[in-house]
Amino acid sequence: MAIILALHAANGFVTLDAGKMDYIRFGSGPRVMVMLPGVGDGLKTVRGMAVPFALMYRSLMRDFTVYVFSRRRKLPKHMTTREMAADLNEALEKLGLKKVALVGVSQGGMIAQWLAIDHPDKVDKLVLVVTLSRPNDTINDVVERWMGMARRGDYRGIMLDTAERSYSEKRMKTARLEYKLLGSVGKPKSFARFLTQAESCITHDAYDQLPSITCPTLVIGGTEDKIVTADASVEIAEMIPDSELYLYEGLGHGLYEEAPDFLQRIARFCR
């Protein structure tokens, strides 16, 4: 209990018109930061993860009160990233959150684009991390592979393939051992949410509407991204007026776990 109080960590959910959405909150800073995770949210929501997240992102807690939102618990087939952004907007409304610093990672970055486009009053600063604005051959190939694994119930395959495509070889030495030992720990009862979220990645297309984003925007990518590609980050930055672009040399899709200055970089921008 003392740790939870010190971290100002809390688990919660918000009831939307279409169902419940899990979120966590930690930190006590004066500014609100909202973080949106990637497609892995389809396998496990943030439910019950407030303390682990707070410990992992504790460097943000002095300056920000941080919210991390999952997609809602039950997703219909063929739901789009734009519809997921509408859900998020409803959640922000119900929680009274306005003018947030919005950080979207991978699929979370796709949802963040739509929130900034459709509800600009909600977004004060925007950070788009290892994401894309429209499909490309790389994401299509990767996601189709993951969806095939999901339909076969191959959880370990999804996790290992994601890691192989995301991390540097140094990080993968540890990851391979972890997956060998853990096997199917954390395997969801159903892959329905994951399939919906994965499909939304290859139907997402906000490219032509990116110029309408007017808030200060930072785009972060990795030169070795084998899931969305570095070019996807470059073209987002080219389309959003006055945005900043930073590419981590030699890092890929998992740069937010590997780059030692990642949290400091987004904190500086969002202050």
pLDDT value, residue 182: 62
pLDDT value, residue 177: 75
pLDDT for 183 beyond 90:
no
Query: Which amino acid belongs to residue 209?
Result: Q
Cα–Cα distance for residue pair 124/95, rounded to 1 Å: 17
Cα–Cα distance for residue pair 86/11, rounded to 1 Å: 22
Q: What is the mean pLDDT of residues 143-158?
A: 95
pLDDT value, residue 168: 87
Instruction: Write the pLDDT tens digit of every residue in 38-93.
Output: 999 999 999 999 999 999 999 999 999 999 999 999 999 999 999 999 999 999 99
Which residue matches tokens 């688990």?
Answer: 11
| Among candidate residues 87, 251, 265, 110, the one with its CA nearest the CA of residue 169 | 251
Instruction: Write the pLDDT tens digit of every residue in 13-43.
Output: 999 999 999 999 999 999 999 999 999 999 9
Task: Give the H or E element holding residue 258.
Answer: helix 255-258
| Among candidate residues 129, 108, 161, the one with its CA nearest the CA of residue 258 | 129
pLDDT value, residue 171: 83
Q: In this structure, what token pair is assigned to residue 18?
A: 């279409």
Among the ranges 5-14, 67-76, 181-190, which has the highest mean pLDDT value?
67-76
Which residue matches tokens 């969002």?
Answer: 270
pLDDT for 268 beyond 90:
yes
What 3-state class would DSSP assign to 103?
strand
Q: Are 130 and 166 in contact (CB under 8 A)?
A: no
Superfamily name and number for 2-270:
Alpha/Beta hydrolase fold, catalytic domain (3.40.50.1820)
Cα–Cα distance for residue pair 145/156, rounded to 1 Å: 13
In Å, what is the CA distance from 91 to each residue of 22, 51, 61, 210, 259? 10, 21, 22, 23, 31
Cα–Cα distance for residue pair 120/102, rounded to 1 Å: 11
Instruction: Write the pLDDT tens digit of every residue in 126-144.
Output: 999 999 999 999 999 999 9
Residues 6+ apart with CB under 8 A from 229: 132, 136, 138, 139
Does the reported pTM lie above 0.85? Answer: yes
What 3-state class would DSSP assign to 73?
coil
Q: In this structure, what token pair is assigned to residue 82?
A: 């734009």
| Among candidate residues 76, 87, 86, 49, the one with its CA nearest the CA of residue 193 | 76
pLDDT value, residue 170: 81
Instruction: Write the pLDDT tens digit of every residue in 193-235.
Output: 999 999 999 999 999 999 999 999 999 999 999 999 999 999 9
Which residue matches tokens 């899990």?
Answer: 22
